[in-house]
Amino acid sequence: MFTIVSGATQIRPSLPDEPLAPLPFEKWLVTLLSVIAGMVDLISFLSLGIFAAHITGNIVVIGALVARHGRVNLAQILAIPVFIVAVAATWLLAKASRKHGHNLVRFLLLVQFLLLACVLIFSVVTNPSAKPHGLMAGIAAMMAVSAMACQFALLRLTLPVAPSTAVMTGNLTNAVLSLIDANSRTQPLMTGSAGRLKASLHLLIGFFVGCVVAAAALSPLGEWAWLFPAALAGVILALAK
């Protein structure tokens, strides 16, 4: 298993007698994953009508449409059970691989990359955004949801105390509380406020940058916008070698 050291995201093995050399990108891993989450969430929402990285958003949209008797996107309903199945499948793959430490991180990063690559190829070939409520859009959306489920499972299995890469409400709360606590003249209510503030800001900025890049790419590139999260996932995987 791994732990977070001094508020920064660093992978540490559970056996202290023979520590593994930290990978050069470790402290930026969660931030880079948040950029991917921002890209995937924005592209999937604007082109497929679903929050692939934000299950809560899908529940809210479904509730609003049901209350107003609007047309519910079937993909939004399927996203919840598909997310559950994908998380369970990621656990099964991790268990079957018998990998631990850095090797498990690399393996799950590979799974995430393959899923995002599948979304890219499938979208370019079928153009699902042309019919956001169609079958092709639903399949593309479920692949994107599966990729994000893999990312979340990766964090929980290898960095169980790492903050979420997609739930910005929690990260913003951490940032505000840490900022106030770190600058308080009285006894701080929390330990490690400075490190927590830095980590939260990295995630907030990373997710926002991902959204901006995806939004800028979506209009001129269309389905090819999926190239950006897939390419970044490939870069992260290459850095992990």
Boundaries of every domain in the chain: 26-166+217-239
pLDDT value, residue 17: 37
Position of tokens 């809210």?
A: 60
Alpha-carbon distance 152 to 37, whole Å? 10
pLDDT tens, residue by residue, 167-184: 777 777 777 877 887 777
The predicted model scores a pTM of 0.81
pLDDT value, residue 118: 96
Name which of 230, 175, 232 is nearest 205 in CA terms. Answer: 175
pLDDT value, residue 212: 94
Name which of 7, 239, 9, 228 is nearest 119 in CA terms. Answer: 228
Alpha-carbon distance 175 to 124, whole Å? 38
pLDDT(96) > 90: yes
**Cβ neighbours for 214, distance < 8 A, ≥ 6 positions apart:** 38, 39, 40, 42, 43, 225, 228, 229
Q: Which two tokens stand for residue 15?
A: 């056996």
Alpha-carbon distance 15 to 119, whole Å? 38
Alpha-carbon distance 59 to 134, whole Å? 20
Reduced to 3 states (helix: H, G, I; strand: E, B; else coil), residue 205 is helix
pLDDT value, residue 14: 41
The number of CA neighbours under 13 Å toward the Cβ of 216 is: 7
CA 108 to chain centre: 12
